[in-house]
Amino acid sequence: MFDALSESLESAWKKLRGQDKITANNIKPALQEVRRSLLSADVNLQVVKNFIADVEKAAQGADVISGVRPDQQFIKIVNDELVKVMGESNVPLAEADTPPTIILMAGLQGTGKTTATAKLALHLRKQERSALMVGTDVYRPAAIDQLKTLGEQIEVPVFEMGTEANPVEVAQKGIEKAQAEGINTVIIDTAGRLQIDQDMMEELISIKNAVSPHEVLLVVDAMTGQEAASLTATFHEQVGVTGAILTKLDGDTRGGAALSVRQVSGQPIKFIGVGEKVEALQPFYPERMASRILGMGDVVSLVEKAQEEI
């Protein structure tokens, strides 16, 4: 699936072959290839720059392991750095000490918020956590119908007040209902909004202030390009995100947006969406994402084996 990326990286490693040390000089072409690869994978340009600087530092300090070629070792260094940046291990969903746990969904138009709301509710139900979904998207035609249809599919109740209501009030009333009924977790679906739409961002801030969520999840389409960095920055600055969901990873995108989202927000990616169906939600694993972006998993495990043997 990621042939082009592997190939371009390999051509970089070839330039290192036959040299038994990684030096400031011989690393340059390889770094250049990593740069091109990451850009082709849609990692944000600024994020790439920072990342390359980190790799350069890490590589020059590295001891060459016997039985491993420098080029292979370099792949391992890039991979490790990528995993490190992406967050070391899988981070679960927040759970409040006193229910209900409140989760607020946010993101651009069409990224998969409403679908992810249902996916999360089903995920919670499987953990015996009851859920209530709250429909505050009063703008998009049939947005509430969509949430209700999904609610019926997964047998999770939906709270809504129609399309004439104020989204902030709907969110508040939804929480009250959950409290009254002893529901464990409330997931608030919101309308899609551009980060440069000041009015809509204000609305989201108002919802947040009204309900004090334990989790604000930024839903990002994995196919997003350079914009991933600036949208994350703005949502994080203005609303404060606690985590992200990366959707549509069942496609063949390399998903470089993952790196941008993680780097810019400093918050973990908690789940990935891997299909249109309500079951298609998985926890996020940084190692898997790194190897997806690099497409060099085999070499990485080879080096790991060599390291173990020492």
Ligand X SMILES: Nc1nc2c(ncn2[C@@H]2O[C@H](COP(=O)(O)OP(=O)(O)OP(=O)(O)O)[C@@H](O)[C@H]2O)c(=O)[nH]1
Which residues are near Mg ion by CB under 5 A? 113-114
Min CB(288)–ligand X separation in Å? 15
Nearer Cβ to ligand X (217/280): 280
Residue from the set 47, 106, 186, 274 that interacts with ligand X by CB under 6 A: 274
Write b or e for each residue in 80-91: b if 16 or more Cβ atoms lie within 10 A of its Cβ, otherwise e: bbbbebbbeebb
- What is the C-alpha separation between 87 and 89, in angstroms, rounded? 6
Q: Looking up tokens 């792949």, which residue turns up?
A: 75
Binding flag, residue 115, ligand X (CB under 6 A)? yes
Residue from the set 276, 279, 298, 304 that interacts with ligand X by CB under 6 A: 276
Binding flag, residue 194, other proteins (CB under 8 A)? yes
Nearer Cβ to other proteins (257/299): 257
Min CB(189)–Mg ion separation in Å? 6
- What is the C-alpha separation between 283 and 290, in angstroms, rounded? 15
Contacts of 176 (CB under 8 A, 6+ apart): none
Binding flag, residue 136, ligand X (CB under 6 A)? no
∠ CA 45-241-35, rounded to 5°: 15
Q: Find the binding residues for other proteins in span 50-109 (CB under 8 A).
A: 108-109
Nearer Cβ to ligand X (36/148): 148
- What is the C-alpha separation between 109 and 113, in angstroms, rounded? 9
- What is the C-alpha separation between 130 and 177, in angstroms, rounded? 13
String of contacts with other proteins for each residue 243-262, x by CB under 8 A? -----x-xxxxx-xx-----
Q: Which long-range contacts (CB under 8 A, 24 or more apart) does 178-181 make?
A: 178/99, 178/100, 178/132, 179/100, 181/132
Task: Name which of other proteins, Mg ion, ligand X, none residue 240 binds, using a CB cut-off of 5 to 8 Å depending on partner kind.
Answer: none
CA count, 13 A, side-chain hemisphere, 132: 25
Nearer Cβ to other proteins (45/64): 45
String of contacts with ligand X for each residue 171-200, x by CB under 6 A? --------------------xx-x------
How far is CA 121 from each of CA 71, 153, 188, 275, rounded to the nearest angstrom? 45, 11, 11, 16
The site for other proteins (CB under 8 A) is made up of 36, 39-42, 44-45, 108-112, 139-143, 145-146, 148-150, 153, 194-196, 221, 223-227, 230-231, 248, 250-254, 256-257, 276
